[in-house]
Structure 1
Amino acid sequence: MKLISLISFSLLTTGIITLSPLVVAQTAISSLRDTRTITISGQVKSVVGNDFILADHTGQVIVDAGPRWWQEINVSVGEYLTVVGEYDEGEFDAFSITRPNGQVMQIRPQFGRPPWAGKKD
């Protein structure tokens, strides 16, 4: 019986490890709710500093990529991006931004305070 439980646990653990990429599956912008760590993709519609509007076929959202004085991200209107982050109080806080060519811009860690917290702009 213990052997079966151990095998079941091993299979369950393996299944969880295998399925973990599904946790950050792409989410439609119109379905965003305050939550942690989700992935969205879309086209940049406008840019102001490090904030930009990202739109997909379901809607649009403001993406906050941190203060420009900390790290300038330089995205362009019309560019297609994939953003991993969290939706909080009507805007999407970016953890990372990926371009179609695979270039990844790290914005901040997923957990804890952003590196610019407590610093002056």
Structure 2
Amino acid sequence: MNPKIFLPLMMIATIIVPSIPKLVQAQTQTQTTRIGDLGTPQGITISGKVQSIVGNDFILDDGSGQVIVDAGPRWWREVNLKQGEQVTVTGEMGRAGEFDAFRITRADGSAIEIRSPEGPPPWAGGPNRAKPKK
């Protein structure tokens, strides 16, 4: 084989091959994201302790940082969390810097479904507007 082609191919293989197990591992694992490491992807799961509550918004602290969690309007579904409660929240970072909740899971495993991760929230109007059953 031509050394001008072989050497660059070997350099690429040296970089790519060790990365493959890491890519496969990252795709097969589901893990909780630390609040201090939040970015913008959808379907993030965070866990922590409820620090304070105002309506359906609450501050969640996991020891690495705090974030305001928006669980939608109270008229849509009241979440009734308590200060000091340990919860796991699945959602996404919103444009306003708040974490928009799709689902809140309590320490006992019971879950509060807020909304689907698909499309805009149902309280914003549109085809998903039907109020959830209690």
- 1:88: how far off? 2.2
Deviating 4+ runs (over 2 angstroms): none
| Letter aligned with residue 91 of structure 1 | E
Q: TM-score, normalised by structure 2?
A: 0.70
SS across alignment from 1:70:
coil
Unaligned runs of 5+ in 1: 1-14
| Letter aligned with residue 107 of structure 2 | P
Question: How many positions carry a matched residue from both structures?
Answer: 101
Matches within 5 A, 1:1-121: 19=28, 22=29, 24-89=30-95, 90-118=97-125
What's the % identity of the aligned pairs? Answer: 55
CA–CA distance in structure 2, aligned partners of residues 88 and 71 of structure 1: 19
Larger Rg: 2
CA–CA distance in structure 1, aligned partners of residues 34 and 102 of structure 2: 18
Q: Deviations over 1:3-57 (max 9, x none)?
A: xxxxxxxxxxxx89x92xx2x4100000001221110000000000000000011
SS across alignment from 1:75:
coil
The answer to whether the Cα contact below 8 Å between 1:33 and 1:88 also exists between their aligned partners in 2 is: no
Q: Larger strand proportion, structure 1 or 2? A: 1
Higher relative contact order (CA 8 A, sep 6+): 1
